[in-house]
Each structure stands twice: as C-alpha cells, then as structure tokens.
Structure 1
Amino acid sequence: MLRKIIPDPFLIVLISTVLLASFLPARGTFAVAVNWLSTITVVLLFFFHGAKLAREQVVAGLTNWRLHLAILGTTFVMFPIVGLIAMHALSGLIPATLATGLLFLACLPSTVQSAIAFVGMAHGNVGAAVASASGSQMLGVVLTPILMGLLAGTHGGSGGLEGIGEVAVQILVPFVIGHLMRPWLKGWIGRNKQLVNLTDRSTIVIAVYSAFSAAVLGGIWHQIEPGALAILFAVNAVLLAIGLAFSWSLGGLCGFSREDRIALLFCGTKKSLVQGVPMARVLFPGAQAGVIVLPVMIFHQMQLMACAFIARGFANRYDTAQRNRD
C-alpha cells in the first residue's frame, strides 16, 4: 500500500531537475558544458544500446516494417489531425499564434535519445526504436514544413541536411560501432548493468535541465496571460493522453508483441524540442517563433515526466516477472 502512495523516484528526480533549471538555469560557459555533456551522454547511450543488442534483434528492428509504419503514422498522421482540430476548436480562447504552435507541435517528428532511453528502460524493442526514431527525425526535416504549409499555410525554408548529419553522428554511428564491438563488450556490460542503465537516466535528466534552462533564460513564460497558459497546459495534457492511448491501442489492434507495443508507445507519441526550435525559427517570423515553440516546451516536459513514470512501471512489472520465473 505504501509503495502505491510514494511517487516514482525517477519522477522526483525529473521534478527536482525542472526546479533546479527554473532557479539556477545553465548560463554562459556552464551552458556550453551542459551541451557538451548532453552530447557525450547521447553518444554513450547509443553506443551501449548497440553493444547490448544481439544481431537478430537489430535485423528484426530494421525489417519490422509494420511497426515502423504504425510509429510514423501516429507521428505524422494522427497527431497532425488532432492538432488541426485543436487549433480550430481553441479559436478565440487563446491567441492565434499559440494555437498555431499547437499544430506545429503536432507536426513535429519524434525525439530520438529520450524515446529510445524510455524504450530501453521499459525493456521494449530497442532495435526498432532506434530505426524508427532516427527515421522520424530524418523525415521530419521535410515532412514538418510540408505539413505546416498544407494545414496552416506556413511558408519557409527547410532545415537542410544539418539535422540528418547530427542524427548520424550522435546516434547511428555510435550504435553501429557499439554493435560491432559487442563480441568484446557483452561480458563487461553483463557485469555492469547498473552503470549502463545509469546512462539512460542521465541522458533524460540532462535533456530536461538543458531544455528548461533555455526556456527560462528566454523569458518565454512572460509572453502569454495566465489564463491562456492554463488552457495550454490542459490541451497539452489531453493531446499527450490521446497519443498514448491511441498508440497503445493501435499496437494491440495490430497484434504487436509487448516489446513492439512499447516501442510504438514511446516513439510514436514523443515530439522533438531539439528539432522543433530551429524549425520554428525558419518557418515563422522571429516575433512569432518564441510563442509558437511554447506548446512544444510544455509538451516536452509533460512527455518526459509521464513517459518516465510509465517506463518505470513497465520495468517494475518486467523485473517482477523475471523474479517469478527464477
């Protein structure tokens, strides 16, 4: 009974990280150091995920086209439809720029590092998550501007190839190198599981601190009225709940395994703050971009905290099942 009342420890860590960033955001040289640390943890995360995966898992992850279509359909079809409905339904209740920001949020690609970290934490299909989340970010460079142009009449350039190169350098290359080194590393990883798992959680915590620090220093919280902000929080929560319910139900209807449903749940519902902010600067005038990215920032924090709680629940049930088998 007491276990049900006590909050999840990792969720407490995330809330503490948000509070720390609110009162002591990363500035100047320290902000540069945080960015470098974030890059290092991302590289280590995918290196270890590559080393942990057996060859058959990687092949299954890359060839599971039904799962990839379900993830991309959730990200680039279901979410934009719901975002378009929300934008029109909230007309007059919140500023038009903020409503456009909700649609922009819905059209963004998936995150990569945090989505895969949550899939790994929940003992899902990490190989498929790497393939789908990386592919989502690559496709998002083209699809997000196109979707905004079709649904909101937004015009602007594309993000170029820089995002694709960053995904390759920070994610795919470490993953491949780690997998190629698996014959020499699998014994060490087996003996140091706690250290490897710490990489997953560290990546998420650093991402929360970095993103929230940038929001605080940008003064974005002062650009809208409290009433509109309250509505925005509520709509973001509903959008996240719809995404989670839809993706988990879709996995069941498609007959996916538990591991594949977990990959769909986390990769299909995540939205990338890292890719969203630079895209907003290209697609929208500078005066609007700051307000338009606010829904993304709020959703980003909500999805990290909600998914951390859900992933820990999956992990606890998995660990219990393993102990019962033993």
Structure 2
Amino acid sequence: MAALAGTVGLAALFPVSGASARVAEVACDLAVALLFFLYGARLSTRETLAGLRHLRLHGLVVATTFVLFPLLGVATALLTPVPLTGPLQTGVLFLCLVPSTVQSSVALTGAAGGNVPAAICAGTYSSLAGLVLTPALAAWLLGSHTELSADGLLRIGLQLLAPFLLGQVLRPWLGGPLSRHKRVLTPVDRGSILLVVYTAFSAAVSQGIWGLATPLALLGLLAVLLALLAAALAATGLGARLLGLDRSATVAAVLCGSQKSLANGLPMATVLFGAQAGLMVLPLMLYHQLQLIVGTVLAGRWSRAAAGGAAPGSVPPALTGPGAPPAPG
C-alpha cells in the first residue's frame, strides 16, 4: 500500500513523457508478460483440477465477480448521489469487470482460518475466466470507451494469455525452483505492478487527471466503492448460507468473491483503454486498498473468534445474522 501511494506520488511529480514514455511502455509490456509467465509456471495444474470439487464455492465466486459486480457497476451510474466524471464512472464499471485476486484472498483466508486450498482455486479460476470474460464484458458494457478490436484481442492473447500458457508448459522444469525462491520473486511481482501504475499515472497526469479528480468527486467515488464492497460482502455471505457452505468455505467465498485483482486489472486496462488507462484505474486502485483494509479487519475478527474457543463448525461473529451460513451437519 505504501509502495503504491509512493508510486502515484512519483508519477505526479516526475511523469515520463515523450521518448521516455515510449520506453516505459515497452518496459511495462515486458514486465506484464513476465508476470503472467511466472503465474503460469507457479500454478500447479494438478492442484487446480483437484479443487474442482468445491463447485458451489467456485460458482458463487464466479457469479459474484462476473454477474453481480457488473450489475452493480451499471447501477452506480444511475444511483450515485454525487455524479462522477466520465472517466471515473467508466473506471468504476471497469473495476466491476475485473477478476478476483489470488494473493490477498489466500493470505486473508489463511489468517481467518478459512479453506486455503479452496481460496487458491477460486482465485485462480476467476483469474483464468477473467482473461476471456473481462475483455468481452468491457467490449459489451463500455463500448466506445475501449480501444478493443481484433488487434486489441490479439495483444491480450500475446501479452497475457500466451506467457501464462508458456509458463504452464515449462512448469515441470521451473515449478520447483520458483517455489523454492518465492522471496526472490516477490520483488518481480510487485515491481511489475508498480511499473504499470507509474506508467499509467504518468500518462494520466499529462492528461490532467487532477482536474477531474476533484475533492467532491473523490468523496463520491469513495462512497460508491464502499457501497460496492459492502454489497459484495453481504451477497457472498448470503449466497454461502443458501448453498450450505461450512464455515471455512464461507470465509473463502466471502473474501474471494469481494476482492478485485490489481495485478490482472492494470495490464488489462492498458490494453483496453490505451493512453486513457491512467484515468480509468483510479477506482480499481482505491478499491484495492479498501478491500485490503476491510479484509484484514474481518480476518482478524474471525481469527480471534476461532482462537477464543469457538466450536470447530461454529460461525464467525461477522457471519452471523441474515448472511450467515449454517453450521456444517
């Protein structure tokens, strides 16, 4: 979070432009390709297939991510008390089309005592589905706001999907070394994301983003994002109860279904929006911070409830009430 804030500040003070901007864009494309290659090389195909047994949980996460969220995004344009500027409203809708995340969902699920393998698979399936569904939904709902075309689809395939598939092919040889050197690779993951943020916001500063992001607009945006997060948390909790998921699966469903991936969303925004990407990713970046803060608070509550002697099948306090699942039979 501190690194993201610092990167935005750096882009505001020292944005790249001209020839330097073109160099940064090429470096950004290469970093994103490397990021998805590493995702593919580290993802265990066998474990992913084994996770298919959690069909109800995965169905709930996918439905929340690619059905409920887009509907909520469309609704914000009609129900927002403080009208957002065009790029911010488009950015909110794009945020609603982005897949769930893997890293933070898994970390928070583990901290809360939830089903970690299910969270890994749910986040992974959402990310894979997002490679196809996010561009398709963006072309349908955002229309002229995107630069999506046959060339754009080809770029998504070459920059995101092809490196991922190549990583899967080379996993038998690279999976072991990559697993043993996770700490070494962490700066690569985070550095790639920060480079995308810096490049996108440099372009946004050149286009006058601060004139669009007035204090009133930012307050309105923050209210919309909090409402989206609250709705997602409530919907996943209620859905888990209706589906009869146990406590650990409910924790995974709530945390995975309410999260959005910055690592996947930012590269897709650069492809879909081109030079306008910096104006569109501000809602996603703010939502990312909110989901981490709220998720950390919830995970802490659930963890303390479990450590306080709650029965193994009991429901965390934060999941009791209308959206609570039943205790497993």
TM-score range, shorter chain: 0.5 to 0.7
Distance apart, 1:22 and its partner CA: 0.9
Q: 1:236 to 1:208 in 2, by over 3 A?
A: same
Residues 1-326 of structure 1: matches in 2 within 5 Å?
11-60=1-50, 66-67=56-57, 69-90=59-80, 93-94=82-83, 97=86, 101=90, 104-105=93-94, 109-110=97-98, 115-116=101-102, 118=104, 125-126=119-120, 128-147=122-141, 159-223=148-212, 226-243=215-232, 246-247=235-236, 250=239, 254=243, 255=245, 256=249, 262-267=255-260, 272=265, 275=268, 294=279, 296-307=280-291
Equivalent residues, number: 290
Q: Is the 8 A contact 1:25 1:216 kept in 2?
A: yes
Residue identity opposite 1:204 in structure 2:
I
Distance apart, 1:311 and its partner CA: 8.2
Residue identity opposite 2:283 in structure 1:
F
Query: What TM-score does the superposition give when structure 1 sets the normalisation length?
Result: 0.67
| Structure-1 residue corresponding to 2:309 | none
Q: 1:69 to 1:175 in 2, by over 3 A?
A: same
Distance apart, 1:34 and its partner CA: 2.4
Distance between the aligned counterparts of 2:213 and 2:51, measured in 1?
43
Distance between the aligned counterparts of 1:33 and 1:119, measured in 2?
33
Residue identity opposite 1:81 in structure 2:
L
Specify every segment of 5 or more residues in structure 2 that has no aligned partner in the other structure, as ranges.
111-115, 304-329
Distance between the aligned counterparts of 1:305 and 1:71, measured in 2?
20
Q: Is the 8 A contact 1:51 1:178 kept in 2?
A: yes
Distance between the aligned counterparts of 1:98 and 1:218, measured in 2?
12
Secondary structure of the residue aligned to 1:266 is coil
Q: 1:187 to 1:253 in 2, by over 3 A?
A: same
Distance apart, 1:250 and its partner CA: 4.6
Q: Is the 8 A contact 1:137 1:164 kept in 2?
A: no
Deviations 1:164-198, CA, capped at 9 Å, x for gaps: 33333233322332233233223422442211222
Deviations 1:260-318, CA, capped at 9 Å, x for gaps: 6654343589994554577579xxxxxxx97x985x4321221343456678898xx99
Distance between the aligned counterparts of 2:192 and 2:216, measured in 1?
33
Q: 1:157 to 1:253 in 2, by over 3 A?
A: same
| Structure-2 residue corresponding to 1:4 | none
Distance between the aligned counterparts of 1:299 and 1:250, measured in 2?
26
Distance apart, 1:226 and its partner CA: 3.9
Query: What TM-score does the superposition give when structure 2 sets the normalisation length?
Result: 0.67
Q: 1:160 to 1:83 in 2, by over 3 A?
A: same
Distance apart, 1:213 and its partner CA: 1.6
Q: 1:42 to 1:280 in 2, by over 3 A?
A: closer
Distance between the aligned counterparts of 1:302 and 1:26, measured in 2?
23
Q: 1:240 to 1:274 in 2, by over 3 A?
A: farther
The sequence identity of aligned pairs, in percent, is 26
Distance between the aligned counterparts of 1:33 and 1:45, measured in 2?
18
Root-mean-square deviation (CA), in Å?
4.3
Q: Is the 8 A contact 2:40 2:168 kept in 1?
A: yes
Secondary structure of the residue aligned to 1:110 is coil
Distance between the aligned counterparts of 1:245 and 1:170, measured in 2?
35
